[in-house]
Amino acid sequence: MAPPRDPRRLCRLVQEGQLRALQEELEAAGGCQGPARDTLLHCAARHGRQNILAYLVEAWSMDIEAANRDYKRPLHEAASMGHRNCVRYLLDRGAAVDSLKKADWTPLMMACTRKNLEVIQDLVEHGANPLLKNKDGWNSFHIASREGDPVILRYLLTVCPDAWKTESKIRRTPLHTAAMHGCFEAVQELLDRCDYAPDCRDNCGVTPFMDAIQCGHVHIAMLLLEKHKEGQTSTVQTLLSLGANINSKDERNRSALHLACAGQHVACTKFLLQSGLKDSADLTGTLAQQLTESRDILRDFDHTVKS
């Protein structure tokens, strides 16, 4: 059969869910590929048209493993958009659950870019491997940490307890990623359930604490200090040498002094005071020095005032 004059029309019919019009077009002209070498299956899966997906597979015997120019299969499309009905249909028809698209992304990795637990569960229950890594060294847990849904992280740790023990090719951990992207609940989950070293560093020497501070997520930096019980004086020195603003504050108007005093970090507090950081009240009117019980810290505040 001759191909239709405008292949994009078939894709548009799929996108709009016009099954009857699509049937008429195909009967007249046969199947085709879209402008990006997508098959109509790709288009149906991307837009969540499970009825059209089933029609194309069952009436036209279209290949569910057809790959486009990025090596995406229809399952990649359905998973990346969170269309559970299409994901389940393709899996039930025998789609390869760990097929790789360009850059070695699996359908599970793509599902983890969406906060859709049911799709992730369907893929895992059909054998998807959370430990597979893409070309950058990220596994599915790493990707889920970037999106920051603690429920999904909890599920992945339940089905694969070692999923957190991963580093990218430049040695960045899921904790680095969650801290950098400001995912507070994800950071909490990672600190509670995973055994990350307090000073884990990537190839550039950056710790999760440094990521949080550099990106302005002071509340996450405070959480990391509290959980890991580290003063991070050397980290603060490094940040200031890189041009970080010592006077930056979080949404509650707390400064780095509040963090250091709340954590009872003597050396860190002393360094901040020597660097010129002044004590100031947060939104509740609380000064940093009111958060400490350390006599050494209070003595440093007195010496700074006198000097």
- pLDDT tens digits, 168-187: 999 999 999 999 999 999 99
What does the alpha-carbon distance between residue 112 and residue 48 come to, in Å, rounded to a whole number? 17
CA angle in degrees (0–180, nearest 5) for 232-236-242: 145
Range with the poorest average pLDDT among 102-116, 126-140, 155-169, 251-265: 251-265
Q: Is the pLDDT of residue 30 over 60?
A: no
pLDDT digits (tens, 9 = 90+) for 157-167: 999 999 999 99
Q: Do domains 130-230 and 254-307 have the same CATH topology?
A: yes
| Residue 275 pLDDT grade (very low, low, confident, very high; cuts 50, 70, 90) | confident
Average pLDDT over residues 14-32: 72
Indicate if the alpha-carbon torsion angle 251, 255, 258, 264 is positive or negative.
Answer: positive
Q: With CA atoms as reference, report the closest residue to 174 among 184, 163, 185.
A: 163
**What is the mean pLDDT of the segment spanning 190-204?**
90
| 211-216 average pLDDT score | 84
More confident position, 134 or 33: 134
Q: Which CATH number fits domain 1-98: 1.10.10.10, 3.40.1410.10, 1.10.580.10, 1.25.40.20?
A: 1.25.40.20
CATH fold of 130-230: 1.25.40
Fold type of domain 254-307: 1.25.40
Residues in the chain: 307
d(CA 175, CA 212): 10
- pLDDT for residue 22 is more than 80: no
**C-alpha distance across the termini of the chain, in Å:** 90
pTM: 0.74
Sign of the CA dihedral 122, 126, 131, 135?
Answer: negative
Q: Any idea what the Cα angle at residue 71 is, between residues 70 and 75, rounded to 5°?
A: 115
Quick one: pLDDT at residue 289? 95
The region of weakest confidence among 68-82, 101-115, 172-186, 271-285 is 271-285
For residue 287, name the pLDDT band (cuts at 50, 70, 90): very high
pLDDT of residue 253: 87
What is the band of 139 on the pLDDT scale with cuts at 50, 70, 90? very high
Torsion sign across C-alpha atoms 239, 242, 247, 253 = negative
Percent of the chain topping pLDDT 70: 88
**Separation CA 98–CA 130 (nearest Å):** 10
Sorted by where each begins, the domain ranges of the chain are: 1-98, 130-230, 254-307
pLDDT at 266: 86
pLDDT at 243: 60
The helix/strand/coil state of 229 is: coil
Helices (H), 194-285: 208-214, 218-228, 233-241, 256-262, 266-274
